């Protein structure tokens, strides 16, 4: 008996909406990453992108536990000498709240071309509106 792999045309992709209001960031990110990778489907294959599209709304109202609100720091290096840029969680939330959710989810995806392809299926919005109503997304509740 041979193993059957899903072909590109046979993969069915659904759209999911996750409301991030008062949801812990880590739980939100892990659930979204599982959907993007396709691990919730019986046709999951590690080397194929079988995942669904995910829309996250209310990213500015995501919750963090402990003292992360004061202590968490986002860092990136510009490539120049002395180019380490550090921003606090509060500053990132005030300037660009979408970045918090995107980085949390991207950190849980594979660090390969396949992971970048999966990340492109993620749409994050700071407010409670999104322009993807035509795709008829399924509302997903996270406890």
3-state secondary structure of 24: strand
DSSP H or E stretch at residue 57: strand 53-57
Does any domain span residue 111? yes
Range of the domain at 126: 15-94+101-140
Does any domain span residue 8? no
pLDDT tens for the chain, 143 residues long, are: 788 888 888 899 999 999 999 999 999 999 999 999 999 999 899 999 999 999 999 999 999 999 999 999 999 999 999 999 999 999 999 999 999 999 999 999 999 999 999 999 999 999 999 999 999 999 999 97
Instruction: Write down the pLDDT at residue 30.
Output: 97
Does any domain span residue 9? no
3-state secondary structure 40-99: CCCCCCCCCCCCCEEEEECHHHCECCCCHHHHCEEEEECCCCCCEEEEEHHHHHHHCHHH
Does any domain span residue 10? no
How many structural domains are present in the chain? 1
Does any domain span residue 4? no
- The span from the CA of 135 to the CA of 69, in Å, is 35
- Whether pTM > 0.85 for this model: the answer is yes
């Amino acid at each position: 008996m041979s193993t059957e792999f899903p072909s590109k045309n046979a993969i069915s992709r659904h759209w999911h909406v996750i409301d991030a209001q008062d949801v812990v960031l880590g739980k939100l990110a892990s659930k979204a990453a599982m959907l993007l990778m396709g691990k919730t489907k019986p046709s999951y294959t590690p080397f194929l992108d079988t995942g669904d599209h995910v829309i996250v709304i209310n990213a500015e109202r995501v919750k963090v536990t402990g003292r992360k609100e004061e202590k968490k720091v986002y860092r990136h290096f510009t490539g120049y000498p002395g180019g380490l840029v550090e921003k606090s969680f509060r500053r990132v939330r005030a300037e660009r709240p979408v970045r918090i959710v995107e980085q949390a989810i991207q950190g849980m995806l594979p660090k390969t071309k396949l992971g970048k392809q999966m990340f492109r299926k993620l749409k994050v919005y700071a407010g409670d509106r999104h322009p993807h109503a035509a795709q008829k997304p399924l509302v997903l509740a996270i406890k």
